Amino acid sequence: AQSVTQLDSQVPVFEEAPVELRCNYSSSVSVYLFWYVQYPNQGLQLLLKYLSGSTLVESINGFEAEFNKSQTSFHLRKPSVHISDTAEYFCALLDGNTDKLIFGTGTRLQVFP
């Protein structure tokens, strides 16, 4: 069965510090991975995705994630966070046969001044 695990429910950091949000997946078929972000009182927005090709993918606001097949991971990183990055982040795996997304339980990133 396919699944997604986000090991950290909350990650508190100070502004300008680096951050890593961890995501591990389990899948026996082709792997398509996504990171979504949910700002307070809003719906989910796509942050970045891995479908194929380069294992390092980037977002427009400085986040990056690396697909690591041997470690079945897709960790999200940012070298220097801002207060405005405070949000909940969801890792998700797409079942290519059904178009269903399988979500992790989410990581709440809280950035302090």
Partner 1 sequence: DVKVTQSSRYLVKRTGEKVFLECVQDMDHENMFWYRQDPGLGLRLIYFSYDVKMKEKGDIPEGYSVSREKKERFSLILESASTNQTSMYLCASSQDSDIRDNEQFFGPGTRLTVL
Q: Which of 14, 97, 11, 88 is nearest to 47 (CA)?
A: 88
Counting residues that bind partner 1 (by CB under 8 A) gives: 23
Nearer to partner 1, 97 or 113 (CB): 97
Cα torsion at 45, 29, 21, 47 (round to 10°)? -20
Instruction: Pick out residues in 52-91 that bind partner 1 (CB under 8 A).
Output: 90
Nearer to partner 1, 42 or 80 (CB): 42
Distance, in Å, from the CA atom of 8 to the CA atom of 35, rounded to the nearest integer, reads: 15
Distance, in Å, from the CA atom of 55 to the CA atom of 2, rounded to the nearest integer, reads: 20
Instruction: Pick out residues in 7-36 that bind partner 1 (CB under 8 A).
Output: 9, 32, 34, 36
**Do residues 77 and 18 make contact, with C-beta atoms less than 8 angstroms apart?**
yes
Nearer to partner 1, 15 or 103 (CB): 103
Using CB under 8 A as the criterion, which residues of the chain lie in contact with partner 1 when the complex forms? Answer: 6, 9, 32, 34, 36, 41-46, 49, 51, 90, 94, 96, 99-101, 103-106
